[in-house]
Amino acid sequence: MNDRINIEVVYALPGEQTLLKRSVPAGTTVAEALQASGVLAKHPEIDMDKNKLGIFGKLTKADAVLRDKDRIEIYRPLIADPKEVRRKRAEQGKVMKKGGGDA
């Protein structure tokens, strides 16, 4: 059995996407792979305690052991709460409808 696995690390900013392909020892954790990939040096704003991590869109923990061909995703915090944005948009729509009338 091969003692190395192939993984990808992805991190996206509004104007830039980073995708790093690496070969790491079998048994490597998410945190170890992030350190070894160089993504933390390239993007010092990533905070392992604050940024959520996932593997193929499913949230995971930093101590999860990787499997061959896993893709680690580093998620950025949301700038705006989606529920709040929808609520404000709905309120604006109601105001517009009320004032659109008597023609």
pLDDT score recorded for residue 2 = 67
- 11 and 37 Cβ atoms separated by less than 8 Å: no
| Residue-by-residue pLDDT tens, the chain, 103 positions | 569 999 999 999 989 999 999 999 999 999 999 999 999 999 999 998 889 999 999 999 999 999 999 999 999 887 777 788 888 888 887 665 555 555 4
Cα distances (Å, whole numbers) of residue 24 to 3, 5, 30, 80, 91? 9, 5, 11, 36, 51
pTM (two decimals): 0.74
CATH code of the region 4-98: 3.10.20.30
Domain extents for the chain? 4-98
